[in-house]
Structure 1
Amino acid sequence: MDGAADTVKLGIHYLRKNGREGGAIVLTSSLAGYLASAGAPLYSAAKHGVVGLMRALKQETAKLRISIAVVAPAITVTPILSTGYREAGKDPAEYAAAMAEKGVPINRVESIALAACWLFNEGMAANGAGIFVQADRMVDFERSLAKNREVWMGKEMLDLFRGGRQAPLFQRVEGEKSNL
């Protein structure tokens, strides 16, 4: 998390310093950032943290005209995922084929790049987006969660949450010195 937070901090610093109006930051999470992966608890926790970092910063970065969003790929065959196959002298494409044979939806790397480019291109309209990519298809998890907030939080809890939003718990960007 320190690496992700420091990278965002530097990104914000240089986007503000370069004299242009705003900019965009796209973080990489994972399906494991939304649905825990029992076999990889530290990875899941870190990727949940990336989603949480984006959620925590999206309103503050918007004030600076900086969009922040997340790309959350499911299984994507990359060198890190296919290391065991390479060590065994096999082609990563064989790994992907073996996974697909078992019914695992596989992404092409190009689909993840396309999602990131789309987020950059959308500018402020993409602020707070969480693009989940699976089987080379994309959906915005964050927008879906926001639309259904009352369903998963319950009306009473949502009303309580909304009522406490304006509490001055933390320092804001508006005119005050900020760590951003």
Structure 2
Amino acid sequence: MSTQGTDAALVAAARSGSDNAFAILVDRHQQAVRSFLRRVCGHAADADDLAQETFLAAWTSLRTLDKPERIRSWLFGIAWRRAQGMARSMSRTRWRETDWQGERPDSDQPGTELNIAMQQALAQLPPDQRAVIALCLAGDWSHADAAQVLAMPLGTVKSHALRGRARLAEILGVRDDES
């Protein structure tokens, strides 16, 4: 499978019926979407399910994408909305029953104490702050791009980034010189 072509060209080909073009787009963006969702959700299995749902939703609504060159932001927006929907629909019982899983490293990836501590600290942030931290600090997105993806005002994103970073530093017991 060729990985040549811009995202916009691949979107155009996928809109014309090319399964291969869409598969290339999935290959290109799947890991970033999954990583974002893992940070936001805190449960790897839920994040993986949401990533699959994100790409299924993208395939079925590809024609609604206004700016094909911005597919990455569009995909993250779909992922964020899916994560919000799942959080609203999940019962408290499920969270209580599966909470212990967040305290052990994923079996398919070597975990470190720092990674575990970071996941636990992220889980203590409100969902909106967690999403901003996942995009801006962990994902190296600009505040403007995160604001667009999360459908939040730019000032709110900046505030969430500042407060989220300060809260993470407090939880982890490290000094945050940037706040």
User: TM-score normalized by structure 1?
Assistant: 0.24
- Structure number having the greater helix percentage: 2
User: Max radius of gyration: which structure?
Assistant: 1
- Structure number having the greater strand percentage: 1
User: TM-score normalized by structure 2?
Assistant: 0.24
